[in-house]
Amino acid sequence: MLKQSLTALFIPALACATVIAQEFSPTHLHQPTLTPQNSGTTNGLIAVWPVNPQVVWACGRAGTFTVTTDGGQTWTAGVVPGAEALQFRDVQAFSADVAYLMSIGTNPTDFRVYKTVDGGATWTIEFENQNPSAFYDAFAFWTPNRGILHSDSVNGVFPDFRTTDGTTWQDISTHSRRVALVCQHKVGGTPGFARVDRISQGSSPPATEATLGMRITLPW
């Protein structure tokens, strides 16, 4: 009787697994249409940020950035003055005019945040690292003026910085117990992932501010 029951269970399970395998096989998956585009540069690109289906920014090696305002039909590339030897590892933009770039390099002061408000015609250094042990991996914004810059830990502390005005950056390493960044990917105004700002020290259990205005409790 037990053998018959196991057989009865095994057959539907096998049939279900077969159907799932077929659904996710390469022949059944919907493949997106990829269109090669001329980025306007031969330098390697590392990061990309779509503001909307028409405006997209990208950045990469040798201080390079590029932007399209017509959905990828044309791209305009440039090199940020003074950043020719740096890599731009992250980019976030809010329009065809306003964008932020995060750079890394071989020297501590090579970790910087640049901002443009005129479509890349001019750039301003808003942040320049002074911590010889910090390594800034990424930044994230939830409004054009509010963002966070995240580093690997140094002696058990994240030497992170935060801006609330889109211009000046404040050290928040002594105010946040742990920081988690999950970049938000937005195309056409549709949010993908929430981006967590910082743990609130006074809450129990610790809560966070997030991109979409939610309070999220994390297990750590």
What are the pLDDT digits (tens) for 98-110?
Answer: 999 999 999 999 9
| Per-residue confidence band for 75, with pLDDT thresholds at 50, 70 and 90 | very high
Tell me which DSSP letter residue 43 carries.
Answer: S
What are the pLDDT digits (tens) for 30-48?
Answer: 788 888 889 999 999 999 9
pLDDT at 190 over 50: no
What is the pTM (predicted TM-score) of this model? Answer: 0.71
Do residues 88 and 45 touch, judged by C-beta distance below 8 A? no
Q: Is 80 or 220 the better-scoring residue by pLDDT?
A: 80
Q: Calculate the alpha carbon distances from 207 to 34, 195, 219 in Å.
A: 41, 13, 10
What are the pLDDT digits (tens) for 148-180?
Answer: 999 988 888 889 999 999 999 999 887 655 444
Residues 6 or more apart whose Cβ sits within 8 Å of residue 8: none
- Mean pLDDT throughout 63-83? 96
- Mean pLDDT throughout 81-94? 96
What are the pLDDT digits (tens) for 50-71?
Answer: 999 999 999 999 999 999 999 9
Do residues 43 and 49 touch, judged by C-beta distance below 8 A? no
Neighbours of 8 (CB within 10 A): 10
3-state secondary structure at position 14:
helix
H and E: helices and strands count for the chain: 1, 17
